């Protein structure tokens, strides 16, 4: 070798950290041991040795451990180091546990927030914290290329003033703060990535106002119900003062998150922000409680998933990376996960991930975070489709659905001579203006076509740089005119009902397209349609609003008059007819209806629904296209023929009758 030296990977491990243990107070402490179990660090050390990464047959923490890894000795963190993060009162209290009576320890344990103490807890906590400091120091000083601290008790829940969640000192926070202090020229910016399944409230609090430490945490949150069960881990917690924008919470809304979800969040948020922050040093607060098999965490990250995440983080800071153990309670899971992480530190490629498509909840969470964090990180901005609404600062604006209905009304009034049909509402809203239009002489028509539709579809073209919508390249797709023109050609009356997705000004109401459409259809039937001269009614439903039609024909006796119910629903939920009128209604609806769905509608997924949709959903048909308006274009002719046949057969019936 000339001048190219491959440094080893450092490891901190010390058997003395196994002495911190929960005092046994009941038989169940044996059968169901506390999850923060002293064996956690041993099992990780053991699997590294079993796989030849460490050469230590005695598993006692030998000095010389082979060619790949290098032992970094653990020492107790000093008062001075700990006090960089923690208050004197906090330190004194932890010190005091080292000479408490058994009874006092049990009582201290009981009244704490998920922390236990014995007389060795204090020393273990000092060693754990010192191990975190030493592994970081060894990397920063180029003694090792990167490092792993196999330490306990964990640290990220310990706040400056109070222990919590199995944590006594905030190990990673203390290490980061002391590295910044002691290597001011070399290390100016540290990224702490916390993939423990719980939010690291202690770490977040330690750097809340600090722009030099970027804290990113992925954790279960569930509206603040998951431990630590506060709102500090929420998406809107971005730091404050100079530290605003240097705190990034990625809070999962449910358990069961796996590799594809974590990788998606890494690709969309962690890595773009990480690259832009361009840290001098990276610390992973590495709980393995999101690992598959961890009952407390309830997530599904595989060892390959951990290896991919570690690998990505190693691409920052020229590989200056330290991994510090936090939680993780399934002994097998944490061992396998730690092995996968360590192999990446050594230089291996990460394992393959076969499913890379995230859950839709994950996509939503990630978009929400991008919306919030793009105020601070430019790399999240380009191509971002959702514009900050900024209603707070704006006084004059219309909701797009109201503006589109305004244009639609103008067009229908001028092109088709439709007029407004008044409807009485308790509340006013632009969304109720001109909600229903009809032919002027509708009450005298023999046949009436009732079109119940959502707001027209907008296929928007977003400026990829500015993120604003390009109105000249975006289109408004509206299928109703096809039916209006057809109806007018046949001298049928037309009733056009617009169902907005929300009622402007009443956002907090428990409104949905489905119930909005149901109420409106019943109202229009009761107050208007049934009083018309018309003997033949055709219903046309477009998108979600179609549910109002299904609801109406199930709740009123309409069979005498209604000839056909045609709906174009794309991927919307199928609605079944209720049989409260009589048992024949299902049969009638099946024969009188066509329900055109997209080819990707879940009802065609054989794995979910081995049989074709049941008759109570009407005659459900698979179209080639997606999207209700495209399907309407595809199947318009078929629909019209069906209607004409229905009208004719009724005429024959009435002729013969």
Residue among 335, 337, 285, 282 at smallest CA distance from 307 = 337
The span from the CA of 195 to the CA of 207, in Å, is: 17
Query: Which among 61, 47, 50, 53 has a CA at the least distance from the CA of 15?
Result: 61
Q: Give the contacts of 75 (CB within 8 A, at least 6 positions apart).
A: 127, 130, 134
Q: Which residues of 575-585 are buried (b: 16+ CB within 10 A; e: fewer)?
A: bebeeebeeeb
Left if phi > 0, otherwise alpha if psi is -120 to 50, otherwise beta: which for 390? left
Q: Is 157 a catalytic residue?
A: yes
- Residue 142's region, left for phi above 0, alpha for psi from -120 to 50, else beta, is left
Tell me how far, at minimum, the Cβ of 155 lies from a second copy, in Å. Answer: 25
Dig out the tokens for 355 from the structure: 């499913």
Mutual orientation of helices 303-314 and 331-346 as an angle, nearest 10°? Answer: 30
Distances (CA, A) of 25 to 29, 31, 102, 104, 125: 7, 12, 10, 13, 22
Quote the least distance from Cβ 411 to a second copy, whole Å: 7
- Identify which of residues 102 and 411 has a Cβ nearer to a second copy in the complex: 411
Q: How far is the CB of 338 from a second copy (least distance, A)?
A: 14
Alpha carbon 98 to its chain's center: 43
Q: Residue 133 CB, nearest distance to a second copy (Å)?
A: 22
Give min distance, CB of 419 to a second copy, in A: 15
CA 428 to chain centre: 35
Report the alpha-carbon angle 121-122-127, nearest 5. Answer: 95
Specify the DSSP class assigned to residue 270: I
Smallest distance from a second copy to CB 575, Å: 20
Containing 305, the helix (H) or strand (E) segment is helix 303-314
Helix (H, G, I), strand (E, B) or coil at 615: helix
Output 335 or 409, the one with its CB closest to a second copy.
Answer: 409
CB 492 within 8 A of CB 449: yes
Please state whether the peptide bond connecting residue 29 to the residue before it is cis, i.e. omega within 30 degrees of 0: no
Alpha-carbon distance 444 to 467, whole Å? 50
Report the DSSP pairing between strands 190-194 and 213-220.
parallel
- Of 389 and 440, nearer to a second copy (C-beta) is 389
Find the shortest distance in angstroms from Cβ 398 to a second copy.
Answer: 5
Q: Looking at beta carbons only, is 462 or 522 nearer to a second copy?
A: 462
Helix axes 547-555, 513-527, angle to 10 degrees: 50
**Catalytic one of 157, 199, 401, 601:** 157
At 448 the three-state DSSP class reads strand
Task: Identify the three-state secondary structure at position 119.
Answer: coil
CB atoms within 10 A of CB 496: 26
CB-based contacts of 477, cutoff 8 Å, min separation 6: 456, 457, 458, 459, 627, 629, 630
Residue 104: which residues within 8 A CB-CB, separation 6 or more? none
Could you tell me the two tokens for 171?
């190990």
Interacting residues of 126 by C-beta distance below 8 A, sequence separation 6+: 76, 77, 82, 169
Provide the minimum distance between the beta carbon of 500 and a second copy in the complex, in angstroms, as a whole number. 6
CB of 164 to a second copy, least distance (A): 34
Report how far residue 304's alpha carbon sits from residue 350's, in angstroms, rounded to the nearest whole number.
Answer: 6
Measure the CA angle with vertex 398, ends 397 and 403; round to 5°. 145
The distance of closest approach from Cβ of residue 404 to a second copy in the complex, given in angstroms and rounded to an integer, is: 6
CB of 336 to a second copy, least distance (A): 15
Q: CB 573 → a second copy: shortest distance, Å?
A: 14
CA atoms within 13 A on the CB side of 520: 31
Task: Indicate the residue among 37 and 634 with the shorter CB distance to a second copy.
Answer: 634
Pairing of strands 436-439, 69-71: unpaired
**Rounded to an integer, what distance in angstroms lies between the CA atom of residue 280 and that of residue 275?**
11
* ∠ Cα 268 270 272 (to 5°): 65
- Structural tokens at position 380: 């999240």
Contact of 351 with 304, CB cutoff 8 Å: yes
Minimum CB distance to a second copy smaller for 123 or for 429:
429
List, by residue number, the catalytic residues: 157
């Amino acid at each position: 070798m000339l001048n190219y030296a491959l440094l080893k990977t450092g490891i901190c491990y010390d058997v003395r950290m196994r002495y911190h243990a929960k005092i046994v107070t009941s038989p169940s402490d044996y059968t169901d041991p506390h999850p923060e179990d002293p064996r956690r660090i041993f099992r990780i050390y053991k699997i590294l040795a079993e796989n030849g990464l460490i050469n230590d047959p005695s598993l006692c923490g030998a000095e010389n451990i082979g060619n790949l890894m290098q032992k970094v000795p653990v020492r107790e963190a000093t008062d001075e180091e700990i006090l960089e993060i923690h208050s004197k009162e906090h330190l004194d209290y932890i010190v005091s546990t080292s000479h408490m009576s058994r009874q006092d320890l049990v009582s201290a344990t009981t009244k704490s927030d998920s922390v236990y103490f014995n007389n060795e807890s204090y020393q273990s906590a000092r060693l754990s914290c010192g191990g975190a400091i030493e592994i970081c120091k060894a990397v920063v000083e180029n003694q090792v290329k990167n490092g792993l601290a196999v330490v306990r008790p964990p640290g990220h829940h310990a706040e400056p003033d109070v222990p919590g969640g199995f944590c006594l000192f905030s190990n990673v926070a203390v290490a980061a703060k002391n590295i910044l202090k002691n290597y001011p020229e070399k290390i100016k910016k540290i990224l702490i990535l916390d993939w423990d399944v719980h939010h690291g409230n202690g770490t977040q609090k330690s750097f809340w106002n600090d722009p030099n430490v970027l804290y990113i945490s992925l954790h279960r949150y569930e509206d603040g119900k998951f431990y630590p069960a506060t709102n500090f881990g929420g998406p809107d917690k971005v730091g404050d003062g100079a530290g605003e924008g240097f705190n990034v919470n990625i809070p999962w809304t449910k358990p069961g998150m796996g590799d594809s979800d974590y990788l998606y969040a890494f690709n969309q948020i962690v890595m773009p922000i990480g690259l832009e922050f361009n840290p001098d040093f990276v610390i992973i607060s590495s709980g393995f409680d999101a690992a598959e098999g961890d009952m407390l965490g309830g997530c599904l990250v595989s060892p390959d998933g951990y290896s991919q995440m570690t690998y990505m983080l190693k691409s920052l800071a020229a590989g200056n990376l330290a991994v510090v153990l936090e939680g993780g309670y399934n002994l097998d899971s944490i061992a396998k996960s730690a092995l996968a992480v360590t192999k990446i530190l050594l230089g291996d490629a990460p394992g393959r991930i076969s499913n890379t498509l995230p859950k839709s909840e994950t996509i939503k969470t990630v978009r929400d975070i991008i919306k919030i964090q793009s105020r601070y990180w430019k790399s999240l901005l380009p191509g971002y489709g959702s514009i900050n609404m900024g209603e707070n600062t704006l006084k004059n604006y219309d909701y797009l659905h109201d503006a589109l209905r305004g244009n639609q009304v103008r067009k229908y009034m001028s092109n088709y001579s439709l007029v407004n049909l008044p409807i009485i509402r308790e509340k006013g809203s632009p969304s109720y203006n001109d909600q229903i239009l009809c032919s002027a002489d509708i009450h005298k028509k023999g046949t009436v076509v009732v079109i119940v539709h959502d707001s027209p579809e907008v296929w928007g073209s977003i400026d990829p740089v500015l993120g604003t919508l390009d109105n000249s390249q975006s289109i408004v797709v509206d299928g109703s005119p096809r039916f209006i023109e057809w109806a007018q050609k046949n001298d049928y009356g037309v009733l056009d009902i617009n169902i907005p997705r929300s009622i402007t000004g009443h956002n907090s109401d428990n409104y949905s397209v489905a119930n909005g459409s149901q109420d409106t259809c019943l109202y229009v039937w009761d107050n208007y349609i049934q009083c018309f001269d018309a003997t033949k009614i055709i219903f046309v439903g477009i998108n979600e609003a179609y549910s109002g039609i299904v609801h109406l024909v199930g709740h009123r006796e309409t069979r005498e008059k209604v000839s056909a119910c045609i709906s174009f629903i794309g991927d919307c939920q199928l609605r079944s007819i209720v049989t409260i009128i009589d048992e024949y209604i299902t049969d009638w609806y099946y024969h009188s209806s066509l329900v055109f769905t997209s080819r990707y509608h879940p009802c065609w997924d054989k794995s979910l629904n081995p049989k074709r949709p049941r008759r109570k959903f009407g005659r459900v048909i698979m179209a080639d296209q997606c999207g209700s308006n495209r399907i309407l274009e595809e199947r318009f002719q078929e629909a019209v023929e069906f209607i004409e046949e229905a009208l004719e057969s009724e005429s024959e019936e009435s002729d013969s009758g």
